[in-house]
Each structure stands twice: as C-alpha cells, then as structure tokens.
Amino acid sequence: MATTKTENKKLTPYQEEVLKAAKQIKEYKVIAEANIVAILYKQPELFFDYTLELEDFSENTWRVYWQIASDLLVVEKKSVLDDMTVGLYLEKHPKLKKEYDDYGGYETIDKAKEYVNVSNMDGYVKELYKWKTVLVMLKNNFPVCNRINEFCDMSLDEIYEEYEAMINHIFVNAARDVESYNACEGINQFIDDLNSGKSVGLPLHNCDILNKEIGGFNCDGNIYGLGANSGVGKSTTAMNYIIPSILHYDEKVVFFINEEDQTKVQRELVIWVANNVFKFDLPKYKLRDGKFDEETMGQLRKVAEWIEDKKEKQNITIVPLERYSVNIVIKLIKKYASLGVRYFVLDTLKESFDAKTDEIYKSMTRDMVKLYDVVKPTAKNVGLFVTYQLGKASIKMRYLTNNEIGLGKSIVDVMSVNLMIRRPFEDEFEGGKHEIVGYRFDGVNGKSKIPFKLKPDKHYMITFIPKNRFGQTDAFQIISEFDFSTNTNKDLGICNIVQDW
C-alpha cells in the first residue's frame, strides 16, 4: 500500500522536542481545565465572575462541558447545571449530546465535583492562563522546551518578568555602552527644535490659559495628574480636555478605565460632538431618558455619522479593566506604544488588586514609579494623563495643594504637571461672603485687566496648578465655564484664592 506524503515526512529532533513539550504543557493545563469546569457545575454563579472563552480550553472533553454550561447559563438563562437541566438541553442538540455521552455524561462531572474546592477557583484560572500563554510562547519559538517543570512553580507574571528582563538584557548589551552627551554641544539645534514647537504638547481643548501655563499635554515621557473629589467630574474633564484635540490633530489615545465601561467614553463623545461640532444644544438627560423624538433622533444620527467616519483611523481606543492592576496597564502601554500610540489616559489611579502590601498609599506610590519607568524618555517616551481622587479632608478646602492627596502625596513626585479642580462654593458666587473676583485680559496684547464675578446661573470650575515643570506653579488659579450637561468648557480668566489657614 502506498504511503502518504505526510507519513514519509520525518520530524526533525527539534520538532520532536517541541511536540513533547506541547504534550507536557497540555497535561498540566488539562488539570486546570477540569477543575474549572467542575467548579462551574458545582457553583454556576461563578461563571459570570470570569471572562473565560471556549478558546481558553485545549482538551475537547472540557471544551464540550464548558460549552454546555455557557449555553445554559448565558443563552437559556438557567441558574443550575444539574443532570436533568443538562439532559433536557442536549435533547435539542444531538451532535453535542453524542460527544457528551462519549465523555461519560454527567457522571464525569459528578466525579470531578467530588475533588474540587470552590475557593481555589482563582488559582485554577491563573494556571489555565499561564499554560495557555506558555503554549503560545512555544508556538512562537520562545526557548521554553526545557523549562516546563520550572514553570510549574512560577506565576504568569513571574514568567513574563523573567522573559522581559531577558529581552531587555539582550538589547542593552547590544548597545554596548550608555550614551553620554557634551552639554555645550548642539545648542543651535536645540534652539531650532524649541522654535519648531517641539516642547509644546497636545493642546487641552478650550483651555487657552491652562495651555499657556503648562504647554499642553506633552507626550515626551511625562505624566500629568488631575485630582478632584468624588463627583466633581474629573473623568469627564479629562475626556473634554483630550478627546477633541486627539480628533482635531489626528493623534491616537488609549483610555484605561476601571470604574465604568466603554459606553462612558462613547456617551461623553456623543454629547461633545452634538454640542461642540453641531451646536445642537443636546443635554445629557436626553440621552439618559431615551425615547427620542424625531428631531433628537435626527440629530443623533448626524452625530453618529460624524463619529463613525473616523472609526477606521482608530484615534480613540478604550480598554475597560475588569480588575485594575498597574502591571496590566504597563503591559498594555508597551503594546500600544509599539503600535505608535503616544498618548495614554488612566482613569482612575487606585490600588492594584494584586498589590503585595496592605498599605494602600505606599502601594500606589510604587505603582506611579513603575508607570513613570515605562513612559519616561529613556523607555517608551509617551505621555500619560492620570486622574485620581483627593482625600476626604479636601472637600471643605478652598485652596487645593498637593497635601490634599493625603498619605499618597508622593504620587506627585514623578509627575511633570499636577492639576486639581473643584467647583465654587455657594458663598464664592457674586454677592457671597467669599465672592471670587476673576480677571480676564483684553485689549492690545491682552494687557487690559477686566474684572468679573461668578454668576449663580453659570457653571464654573476652578483649576489649581500645584506642580508644573513647564512654567509657574501656584501663581494663580484658572476660572473656566464648565457645563457637564453639554460637555462644553472654556477658560475665562484667572483669580487668586485665599489659602486656608
């Protein structure tokens, strides 16, 4: 009998080694797969605590059982996965039922459930992703064949850090030496670079005074902070500052958001375009309430068309973080920076879920240092805009300083610019006990100083600049009109808030 071409083809020693390694990895991985599926049948509500997919499973036995569980819980909205529920479902799916029966039916699940501990679910999921990643590394010719046993005692993060360190070591050694520069050489070129506007960053939208002070959002290895109390609108402010300019200058930005999903950014974008591009005077409550009348729906369709026209450029990428970890953010910054993205926004800075200390503020300070180490000029050389929440004591403070961050004020150390915002207190409006007198500049060269007061029927924001490597720090405060209902903002003038004593 003639042999096939495949049968004649003999594997090389290296190919045999790779196949042997893949088999060993799958043997470890299948243990995690079996335990995960058994726990899901034992406690089905855990299914929605994880983002597992069919492709995460290698062994067909557990792929079949997982798919059945997924269909019952997600599609058919069942809450239990007992023998009867599964049996009734499979009566409608004969092909799946045959595979299920071939693998031992519900008896296989019953036996597996006897040996699993539900409290170990997190560990099993981490093991699954670890071995899945090692398989991908093997497929991409990473040197892992002789290290499978070592990986058994390592976490996914430890494997990642080791190979990252290995790559860094290789490329650092390739450079052979560290560059040094003569500070007195190339000054004319430096001046020409400054003349071309190299040190000016992406202008924050409608922030003429603020941009003059800080030079915009400079992406050359800088971190910008924006602090405010809960509910003041720091997330929306960051979006209003950055998204319009990203679109105008055809740049790219990645938003890491950990308190809401991607629809938050989409909602703010729709409102901004409606009110700033088309001047529709469309407030947010209309979007919230739905049941649009014909005029509003027509306006929204125009807005959608304007936004959809830009989707191929992928100017704005949203990454919702199910659980915030600075290590995940760092990996994603490296990924997107390698794809040419220069601007990043982290909304909101908080303690990493995998922090190795109970002292929150020490953990956040270390995380900020880690973030700076990846964005700084000698690393990825990108810009990062970070929002964060002020300490509770700052709610009653009129004059905001870095001290209002509380125990975590060291996070400011690596920032090039730190901004803080608050809304005016009731007694700061015109006629109040602590009314604010602002000044706008007009006339030739803007030298005329025109006073103004805050009107009770207007919406304002006061911006403090407690740190600024590109200009003055705390020289004055900026008064802006800020209407979050329509996502409109504009710098009006400056003022001097009296310090709290």
Q: Give the pLDDT confidence of 328-368 residue by residue, as tens digits.
A: 899 899 989 988 999 999 998 988 877 765 567 678 888 99
Q: Tell me what pLDDT residue 359 has.
A: 65
From 13-27, 307-321, 395-409, the region with the lowest mean pLDDT: 395-409
C-beta separation of 174 from 167 below 8 A: no
pTM of the model: 0.67
Name all domains of the chain by residue range, CATH numbers in brackets. 5-169 (1.10.860.10), 206-423+459-495 (3.40.50.300)
Are the C-beta atoms of residues 30 and 59 closer than 8 Å to each other?
yes
Q: Is the pLDDT of residue 452 over 80?
A: yes
Phi, psi of 371, deg, nearest 5: -65, -45
The predicted structure's pLDDT at residue 363 = 81
Query: Does the pLDDT at position 7 exceed 80?
Result: no
477-483 β-sheet, strand order: 316-320, 253-257, 343-347, 383-389, 223-228, 417-422, 460-468, 477-483, 488-495, 437-442, 448-453
Is residue 176 very low, low, confident or very high in pLDDT (cuts 50, 70, 90)?
Answer: very low
Strands 417-422 and 223-228, bridge-based pairing: parallel
pLDDT in tens, 406-438: 667 789 999 999 999 999 999 999 999 999 999
Inter-residue long-range contacts of 425-432, CB under 8 Å, 24+ positions, other chains counted: 425/398, 428/398, 428/454, 429/453, 429/454, 429/455, 429/456, 430/454, 430/455, 430/456
What are phi and psi for residue 391, nearest 5 degrees? -65, 155
Tell me the CA distances in angstroms from 49 to 256, 300, 301, one per residue in order.
Answer: 20, 35, 36
Tracing tokens 């009653």 back to the chain, one arrives at 396
pLDDT value for 378: 87
State how far Cα 447 lies from the chain centre: 42
Tell me which amino acid residue 483 is: D
Please report, rounded to a whole number, the percentage of residues in the chain having pLDDT higher than 70. Answer: 89
What are the tens digits of pLDDT across the range 113-149?
998 999 999 899 999 999 999 999 999 888 888 889 9
Task: Please answer whether residues 318 and 265 qualify as being in contact, where contact means their C-beta atoms are separated by less than 8 angstroms.
Answer: yes
- Nearest Cα neighbor of 407 from 482, 351, 471 is 351
Would you state the pLDDT for residue 246?
93
Find the mean pLDDT for residues 442-471. 88
Residue 220's closest CA among 474, 417, 369, 409?
417
The yes-or-no verdict on residue 42 having pLDDT over 80 is yes
Name the 3-class secondary structure at 52: coil
Alpha-carbon radius of gyration of the chain: 29
